[in-house]
């Protein structure tokens, strides 16, 4: 069998190159379909890692990209600003709850979270609260692949043991989803709250951790505990932001205002890399000082790339002009009805839907590669991981395309399980 290691030069993500099968080659995209180099077309069930919320090649986004490319593809952000970034920062702060109003642009989700962590730790220092260097995060969480973020990911998935001293030692707890876990977190904070700069969580759904859902109430508990202990609440909306859970931002469902929010994935409608870390007024104000050491020392070379900002503005136009959240509701209802058939299959542990996220959880998933191949043979792009098969389609997917996806999942699981 030819494996990924036979590819010339490329090193692929999350792959044991010696055994990973040769990847398929994509040649073109349109709407919810991906055309392969060999001419086959696949209906995309996951919108390219949850980014392509308007489908691929949306003409409004393309138009914005071309226009910006003609005017100014890139310019440094040191000592210089530009209209695409000014407009985008304004629009994000208008959309976010409360006084989340200071936007720091970066180019990937992991880096947006790194910036959030630096902001939180330095916020505490700037206030003269020494010794608050720790971050508290939750089992099942995922916040990126850089070293500092690995340390706040789920300990198993973040390979904490393997990397040992290379990772900073942070505090990992259970999400407070039950009276017991809430009491445990309260006890932990009573003891160690004075060491903690920020609590970090994904809101409503731990995505890469296996599409694990929790109630909005959990976020309310976290907000209250952070207030009680002078800890900042950092909400990682990189996966959930821009409608995926049914509201524009997931934290809206809890009615809370985090101190810092990170956005990326669907920010540009899945066309260009861009991320943002947004701070509340009081967080920003803690950096205003005569002391140069109180400044936030961070600045990616491609910070606020004008092309990326222009397409993010175009993506927000589409949320204003087209009924995206209604489409999410319709997708949610259709997935709830159609994935239900999977529940009675042997080997299926759970079927759950939140917004435009549909999940079939299995007892075990021994050979994900066999399932992936079977999905491609059915003409769909579905990527099982951990113990789950899931759908996070573009919000513009047609009901027929979505039915093809859900019935393919049912058929493939029926053929391969039990």
The one among 29, 51, 108, 408 contacting ligand PLP by CB under 6 A:
108
Among residues 144 and 355, whose Cβ is nearest to ligand PLP? 144
105 is an interface residue for ligand PLP by CB under 6 A:
no
Whether residue 110 is annotated as binding a ligand: the answer is yes
CB 201 within 8 A of CB 166: no
**Cβ of 52: how many Cβ atoms within 10 Å?**
29
Phi and psi at 316, nearest 5°, equal: -65, -35
Distance, in Å, from the CA atom of 373 to the CA atom of 388, rounded to the nearest integer, reads 16
Reduce the secondary structure of 194-262 to three states and give it as a string: HHEEEEEECCCEECCCCCEECCHHHHHHHHHHHHHCCCEEEEECCCCCCCCCCCCCHHHHHCCCCCEEE
DSSP 276: E
Candidates 82, 132, 143, 244; binder of ligand PLP (CB under 6 A) is: 143
Comparison of 204 and 232: residue with beta carbon closer to ligand PLP? 204
Residue 243 touching ligand PLP (CB under 6 A): no
Is 355 assigned to a binding site? no
Q: Which of 44, 154, 236, 259 is catalytic?
A: 236
Cβ distance to ligand PLP smaller for residue 114 or 338: 114
* 238 touches ligand PLP (CB under 6 A): yes
Q: Do the bridges between strand 232-236 and strand 260-263 make them parallel or antiparallel, or are there none, so unpaired?
A: parallel
144 near ligand PLP (CB under 6 A):
yes
Q: To 5 degrees, how large is the angle CA 91–CA 96–CA 102?
A: 70
How many positions of this chain bind ligand PLP (CB under 6 A)? 15
Residue 154 interacts with ligand PLP (CB under 6 A): yes or no: no
Nearer to ligand PLP, 234 or 412 (CB): 234
Looking at the Cβ atoms of 272 and 382, the one nearer to ligand PLP is: 272
Given 107, 134, 154, 265, which residue is catalytic? 265
Is 264 a binding residue for ligand PLP by CB under 6 A? The answer is yes
Member of 64, 113, 185, 312 binding ligand PLP (CB under 6 A): 113
Minimum gap (Å) between residue 142 Cβ and ligand PLP: 5
DSSP 97-132: STTEEEEEEESSHHHHHHHHHHHHHHHHHHTT-TT-
φ/ψ (deg, to 5) at 393: -70, 170
Structure tokens at 9: 């030069």
Short-list 332, 267, 220, 368, CA closest to 52:
267
For this structure, is 123 an active site residue? Answer: no
Candidate list 14, 320, 366, 400, residue with the active-site label: 14
Please confirm, yes or no, whether 142 is among the known catalytic residues: yes
User: Is residue 270 involved in binding ligand PLP (CB under 6 A)?
Assistant: no
CA dihedral 368, 370, 376, 382 (to 10 degrees): -20
Tell me the binding residues.
49, 109-110, 142, 236, 265, 299-301, 383
Residues forming the active site:
14, 142, 236, 265
Residues that bind ligand PLP (CB under 6 A): 108-110, 113, 142-144, 202, 207-208, 236, 238-239, 264-265
């Amino acid at each position: 069998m030819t494996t990924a290691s036979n590819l010339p030069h490329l090193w692929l993500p999350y792959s044991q190159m010696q055994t990973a099968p040769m990847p398929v080659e994509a040649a073109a995209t349109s709407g919810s379909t991906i055309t392969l180099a060999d001419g086959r077309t696949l209906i995309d069930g996951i919108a390219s890692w949850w980014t392509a919320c308007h489908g691929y090649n949306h003409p409004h986004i393309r138009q914005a990209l071309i226009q910006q490319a003609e005017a100014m593809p890139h310019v440094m952000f040191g000592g210089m600003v530009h209209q695409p970034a000014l407009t985008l920062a304004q629009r994000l702060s208008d959309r976010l709850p409360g006084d989340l109003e200071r936007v720091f642009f970066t180019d990937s989700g992991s880096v947006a979270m790194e910036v959030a962590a630096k902001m939180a730790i330095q916020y505490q220092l700037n206030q003269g609260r020494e010794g608050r260097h720790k971050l508290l995060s939750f089992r099942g969480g995922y916040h990126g692949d850089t070293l500092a973020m690995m340390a706040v990911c789920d300990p198993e998935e973040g390979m904490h043991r393997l990397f040992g001293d290379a990772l900073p030692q942070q505090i990992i707890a259970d999400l407070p989803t039950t009276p017991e876990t809430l009491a445990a977190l309260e006890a932990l904070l009573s003891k160690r709250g004075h060491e903690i700069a920020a609590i970090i969580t994904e809101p409503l759904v731990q995505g890469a951790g296996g599409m694990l859902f929790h109630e909005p109430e959990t976020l309310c508990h976290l907000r209250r505990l952070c207030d009680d202990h002078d800890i900042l609440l950092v909400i990682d909306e990189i996966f959930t932001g821009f409608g995926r859970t049914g509201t524009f931002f997931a934290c809206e469902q809890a009615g809370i205002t985090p101190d810092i929010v990170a956005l990326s994935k669907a920010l540009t409608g899945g066309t260009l890399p861009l991320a943002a870390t947004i701070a509340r007024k009081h967080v920003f104000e803690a950096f205003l000082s005569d002391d140069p050491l109180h400044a936030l020392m961070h600045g990616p070379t491609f910070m606020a790339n004008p092309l990326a900002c222009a397409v993010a503005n175009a993506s927000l136009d589409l949320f204003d002009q087209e009924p995206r959240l209604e489409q999410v509701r319709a997708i949610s209802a259709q997935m709830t009805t159609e994935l239900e058939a999977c529940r009675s299959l042997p080997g299926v542990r759970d079927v759950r839907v939140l917004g435009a996220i549909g999940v079939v959880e299995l007892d075990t998933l021994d050979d994900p590669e066999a399932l992936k191949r079977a999905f491609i043979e059915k003409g769909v792009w579905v990527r099982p991981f951990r113990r789950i098969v899931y759908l996070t389609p573009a919000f513009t997917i047609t009901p027929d395309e979505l039915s093809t996806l859900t019935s393919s999942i049912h058929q493939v699981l029926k053929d391969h399980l039990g």
